[in-house]
Structure 1
């Protein structure tokens, strides 16, 4: 049955916390999944949430903490001692433990790590913290099952049993040489059907996909998607097996990147949530709104320089919003397709071919829309020359907007700048200005003013 957080349940939990009825609370939460408990904690006060985290055992709360919203988790961790945080991270996979510790203030990181009793776990976390966040090393977990090529099947099974205790899911078994260099993978079917005295070197599969610790997370995601992998091993610069990236880590990364790109395209300069403070929302929105304001002022100044045309052909004024809107829409459409192609690594054409294709596409769309606009304007006002000027302007505006929307994200990508920035107010504002400028120049030329 699907879990539902009701007001009655929340009131009951709040009441038990206020009464400090630990026995009933512990019994109540035994039947809930850790993700459901995280949903409950998100609706509690900070003191109530901290009380529950301290009450429940670390094996459960370590999972609960990873399900919480990042800001909620940070506030709870602020209320825990270094020893209590260390107890939580010792129950987590190494990649989750590193993520949690990386969220702590710099002055607490060393204290927490020093409280971790398992020295190997502490070393693993320190190693993971040394890698770039959006790299294979930053995403990987140290827990995996590795076997040596010199082992027999019987010895391999014994070693795997002890290793698997620390691994949540065994996606693959990796084969290494005596220097821990990755040389292949092992099929469980081959392991189960082979004689116990058979050497692993005789049955392992030498072909294995892998990435380097410095490989960018986007490239890791692309490889795993292309080859439909649930996990991929990670090696260091000496080709030694140091960890693995699992599909859940990649899904989290893709979700975070998608949210960031969506907000950037919508004109938000930083990551925000719906329930964030007004001040945080203002800081996120204001920079792009200022850009929009400057763009609007630029468009107004351009229109002001064509007062003579507007005085004689007032109808041009009424079509100004249409021209600006079409320029912005076409530019956003073009840039969105390019950004998506860059994200999926689907763009194989050269820049010239891409621009030529976009120009032809924009020209075709522009001609069709211009014919419709020409007919409407002529029937409305009965002035063919003015209708022609507006329609020709629309064609050129659409072509230019398509080229700008294509070129800008490609240019940003070449400069290692997130091209998602091009799909938001940046493209809309720039194309509005270009559109208005082109519109009045074409009208001036056609109408002979």
Structure 2
């Protein structure tokens, strides 16, 4: 969305050229309209919304930035939200929208929804943790009884399909609404009309429970190349479906959160957030880093008699190498834990493997520095040996520590992404300095 087009839209709004404005909006996808609204004032956005039909307006609201959408909804009457938006949304999108609002506002909106069944479904879904399959699923789907014949099945599918925008799969249930299979649409054409659904359905479909974590849901969809995944309750009754686009949105948000956490941001923050929120997100780790730096200065002061001018040349190298190695190790582990290629129960195995890799890297790095200092300071200089030995020790420690910490955090049910951030760098920096000073003193 370029600035020229945004300025053009603003000019049309200012000139009240509603006919031209409507023509421009009809050319845009709801996601593009949402992007446009992010760059408009509340008054301008309101003028745009007046020109959209209810279904497009609902789609646009779903695509809007969460913070802007929340502010926008807070200014609208509950009745308008219910009639203009919720009535034209799938339940999963409606629940996402409702989660942004406080409990009182949610109750007001629900009271204005005419469709009692839809309101009940929204209330039920709001009870689930938003980071589980139940919190993400939609209740709109096509399901048929296993005892229906082909003509009966087709009639039922047509009746249900009228209320849906898309049909990914047809799900088969028994008389108790328990999931029994998936009915491929191709079977409607190729199967004899006398056949019953249960004789031609694909039995034992892949499904997840309502309390399955979202990362596990994403892994299942990716592994089996599914477009949608059925969700069942504790006794196997079909509760809803999760589509691949919803999962990707959630995984993208989680990836952004982990990236920010690894970068030293303590909470979710955007570039357009206010100064207070950005400061609040950044300051905690900066303070921890400051404390770590002060601790390092005290450590160096304690070895003042040992520290020489030549030694000070290599302080950045020792600290930087430890931080880099630790971050590399922890990043690989966090990635492995995220995509399930690594299990937190394999801690000993992974640490042993990382120790071997570290041994090779530490040997190469320390030998290169030794050769450099051999010619720079001579074979008898203490610094020639102390820097190399310190680097070797730092690389070994940082590799093992960077592997051990995220795996331990995972077992403690703490987000391991925190291990790839300043925590690893600060720790390795202090420990690296300790190795450097102590080894130099011992060799003196």
Instruction: State TM-score, norm by structure 1.
Output: 0.95
Asked if 1:187 corresponds to 2:184, the answer is yes
Name stretches of at least 5 consecutive residues in structure 1 with no aligned partner.
none
In 1, the alpha carbon distance for the partners of 2:333 and 2:193 equals: 54
Q: Which residue of 2 aligns with 1:56?
A: 52
Is the 8 Å Cα contact of residues 50 and 76 (structure 1) preserved in structure 2? no
Deviates most, 184-193 or 348-357: 348-357
| Cα separation, 2, equivalents of 1:331 and 1:235 | 42
8 Å CA contact 1:339–1:419 kept in 2: the answer is yes
* CA deviation map 1:95-151 (0-9, x unaligned): 000000111122211000111111111111111111001000011011111110111
What are the superposed Cα offsets for residues 228-249 of structure 1, whole Å, 9 maximum, x if unpaired? Answer: 1111100011210010011001
SS of aligned partner of 1:56: coil
Between 271-280 and 165-174, the greater mean CA deviation after superposition: 165-174
Deviates more, 1:12-21 or 1:130-139: 12-21
**Match among 247, 256, 261 for residue 258 of structure 2:** 261
Quote the residue 2:207 is aligned against: 210
Residue 438 (structure 1) shift? 1.2
Q: Which residue of 2 aligns with 1:139?
A: 136
Q: How far is 1:383 from its partner?
A: 4.6
Q: Secondary structure at the match of 1:168?
A: coil
Instruction: Report deviation, 1:414.
Output: 0.5
**Structure 2 Cα separation of the partners of residues 418 and 381 of structure 1:** 46
The offset of 1:77, in angstroms, is: 1.1
Matched, 1:374 2:349: no
2:31 maps to what in 1? 35
1:344 positional shift: 0.5
Q: Paired residue for 1:386?
A: 383
- Residue 78 of structure 1 deviates from its aligned partner by 1.8
Structure 2 counterpart of 1:420: 417
Q: CA–CA distance in 2 between the matches of 1:32 and 1:355?
A: 52
Deviation at 1:65, TM superposition (A): 0.8
2:6 is aligned, of 10, 25, 49, to: 10
Structure 2: distance between partners of 1:34 and 1:250: 19
Q: Which residue of 1 aligns with 2:341?
A: 346
Q: Summarize deviations over 1:282-338 as a string: whole Å, max 9, x none.
A: 00000000010011011111111111111xx33111111100000000000000000
The correspondence of residues 249-288 of structure 1 with structure 2, limited to 5 A, is 249-288=246-285
Name the CA distance, whole Å, in 1 between partners of 2:201 and 2:303: 76
CA shift for structure 1 position 73 = 1.0
147, 151, 155: which one pairs with 1:154?
Answer: 151
- SS of the equivalent of 1:245 reads strand
**Count, aligned residues:** 441
The match for 2:313 among 318, 342, 353 is 318
Residues 136 and 214, structure 1, Cα contact 8 Å, conserved in 2: yes
Work out which of the residue numbers 275, 289, 292 in structure 2 matches 1:292: 289
TM-score (norm 2): 0.96
Distance in 2 separating the partners of 1:5 and 1:89: 31
Q: Tell me, in whole angstroms, the C-alpha distance in 1 between the residues paired with 2:48 and 2:73.
A: 13
1:329 counterpart residue number: 324
Give the conservation status (yes or no) of the 8 Å contact 1:50–1:79.
no
Q: Secondary structure at the match of 2:182?
A: strand
The answer to whether structure 1 residue 233 and structure 2 residue 230 are counterparts is yes
The answer as to whether partners of 1:49 and 1:76 remain within 8 angstroms in 2 is: no
* Superposed displacement of residue 6, structure 1: 4.1
- Cα distance in 2 for residues equivalent to 1:51 and 1:78: 17
Query: What CA RMSD, in Å, does the superposition of the two structures yield over aligned residues?
Result: 1.4
Structure 2 partner of 1:198: 195
Say which SS state the counterpart of residue 266 (structure 2) adopts. coil
Structure 1 residues 365-390: Cα deviation after superposition (integer angstroms, max 9, x where no partner) = 01100010001112112254321111
Show the 5 A alignment for 1:72-83.
72-83=68-79
- Displacement of 1:19 in angstroms is 4.3
Runs of 4+ that moved beyond 6 A: none
Partner of 2:305: 308
